[in-house]
Amino acid sequence: MSLKNNLIKNGIGFTIQKGIRILEQLLLVPFFISAWGADYYGEWITLTIIPSILAFSDLGFGSAAANSFVLKYASGDKQGAANIGSSGFFVVTATVIAGLLITVLLLYGLNGFHVFDKLLIDKWDAIMALFMMMISKILSFYQQLFEAYYRAVRRAALSINLMSVYSGLNIVVGVTVLVLGGDVVAFAAANLVVSLMFYPVYILISRRVLSLEKECKGQIHKEDMQMIAKKGFGYLLSPIWQSVYYQGTTFVVRLTLGPGAVAIFNTVRTLSRTVNQIFNLVSSTAFPELQYEIGAKNMNMAKKIFNGTMGLNILFAIVGCIFLYFFGLDFYELWVKKVLSPPTAMWNVFLIGVLFNSIWWSAMYIFQAINKPYEFTVAGVVCAIISAGLCYPFSYVWGLQGAALAYITLDILLVLYVLPRACKVLDQSIKELLMNIIKDMTIFIKMLSAKMKIRR
């Protein structure tokens, strides 16, 4: 199947997946409130924080094993891929067992401190519902590993579509339970049943798509497990630096400028970064094909995919910033009903950050593709600490404009660090990258102009 067709299928799949996730977030809310009431639903949201945090406890093992698997398979080392698959399955299973034990101990401890006694939800209903929700999250650890099987045979779109089916089933089942008057236990049980039915099917299809077991029998190797563990911790640094960056800057703004400033800072950040969703969509679409070409040593094709992704994201950033510059503040006032009034200079600083973000966001996928997470995540932690640290003096001296400047410091620093290293991986200079981007944009504009003339 051609690269173009794969990219189109991946793009369509990710677009549908994002749409379903947005639908899941929006559609269920009125059903929750109607069935349970606002306060009871608020308690449920509080409970679901715990399984969401538990999702990080796979320590990135699934990502580390998956990326190693794809690189080995694409390079022709099928036995090595089979070994990674077996070792990865062992590590993930051990993590799942550990997660189950942590779940039991955590619930026991919370119950011992009488945490559940203070909830509007019945104590044992809360414990049972939370236990089932956490099991559902733990089962998702396998998804990252077996997603590699689809990527290895360039069937990433199939994996994406199957995960969309999973999300869709959760919506349908969730709405059904709520309409029928089910409580938190029924809702959590339905979610768990969907997970117990879906993940074995997802794994079975992945094995049939690849059929690696027919050629090679995977073996568990200590060296592979050590590698998975080491790189897994590297991937774990990603949520850590994001927490330092997002929560850290928010906390500093609260300390220096007060709660009203926090509301302005966070809402402006949210709206100005809506363009970032497009960067994520474009980069996620290209990633499976980029990683395969790198694994297969087709560096010229990998360059084309990387350069095209970078150029497309920069183009979207420019168009998005122009739109937000002229219309963004008007939409913001409508959104917050004119309750909040951000400084214009602050808004413009955030827009500058969007341009830098489009560059490093496109480049960082290289390190995931070559399975070297520390190359990026360590830099992310350092830059997040610098950004959060600068937020205090900048906010104190320049107010919200200073907070915005401190915030985009991370974007600027990551561009200076990530872009040269990403180009080095692909054996190209930054000048060559820029020339290719300009060339691609010129061709794109000419094609667009030609189509518009034909329509006229």
Residue 111's pLDDT is what?
A: 86
| Phi, psi (deg, nearest 5) at residue 64 | -60, -45
Mean pLDDT computed over 409-435: 95
Which segment of 56-65, 343-352, 426-435 scores lowest on mean pLDDT?
Answer: 56-65
**Single-letter residue type at 419:** L
**DSSP conformational letter for 121:** S
How many residues does the structure list for the chain? Answer: 456
- The rounded distance, in Å, linking the Cα atoms of 343 and 146 is 48
Taking CB atoms within 8 Å and a gap of at least 24, the contacts of 14-23 are 14/160, 14/281, 14/284, 14/285, 15/281, 16/160, 16/161, 16/164, 17/160, 17/161, 17/163, 17/164, 17/167, 18/277, 18/281, 20/164, 20/167, 20/168, 20/171, 21/167, 23/171
Higher per-residue confidence, 53 vs 231: 231
Mean pLDDT computed over 374-378: 95
How does pLDDT run across 258-292, given as a tens digit for each residue?
988 998 998 899 889 888 889 989 999 999 999 99
Checking if the pLDDT of 56 tops 80, the result is no
Residue 238's pLDDT is what?
A: 87
Residue 27's pLDDT is what?
A: 75
- The rounded distance, in Å, linking the Cα atoms of 268 and 447 is 35
Q: Which helix (H) or strand (E) holds 299?
A: helix 299-323
How does pLDDT run across 101-122, given as a tens digit for each residue?
988 898 888 888 887 887 788 8
How does pLDDT run across 308-330, given as a tens digit for each residue?
999 999 999 999 999 999 999 99
pTM: 0.87
Higher per-residue confidence, 240 vs 453: 240
Query: What tokens appear for 362 in the block?
Result: 């496109």
Residue 44's pLDDT is what?
A: 83
Residue 18's pLDDT is what?
A: 84
Residues 6+ apart with CB under 8 A from 143: 62, 163, 199, 202
Q: Terminus-to-terminus CA distance in the chain, angstroms?
A: 35
Checking if the pLDDT of 53 tops 70, the result is no
Residue 57's pLDDT is what?
A: 54
Residue 169's pLDDT is what?
A: 95
Residue 146's pLDDT is what?
A: 95
- Across the chain, mean pLDDT equals 89
Rg over CA atoms, the chain:
24
Residue 319's pLDDT is what?
A: 94
Mean pLDDT computed over 397-422: 96
- The closest alpha carbon to 161, from 32, 29, 64, 17, belongs to 17
Mean pLDDT computed over 17-31: 79
How does pLDDT run across 140-188, given as a tens digit for each residue?
889 989 999 999 999 999 999 999 999 999 999 999 999 999 999 999 9
Checking if the pLDDT of 26 tops 80, the result is no
Residue 221's pLDDT is what?
A: 93
Residue 8's pLDDT is what?
A: 87
Residue 277's pLDDT is what?
A: 85
In the structure, what pLDDT confidence band is assigned to residue 295 with cuts at 50, 70 and 90? very high
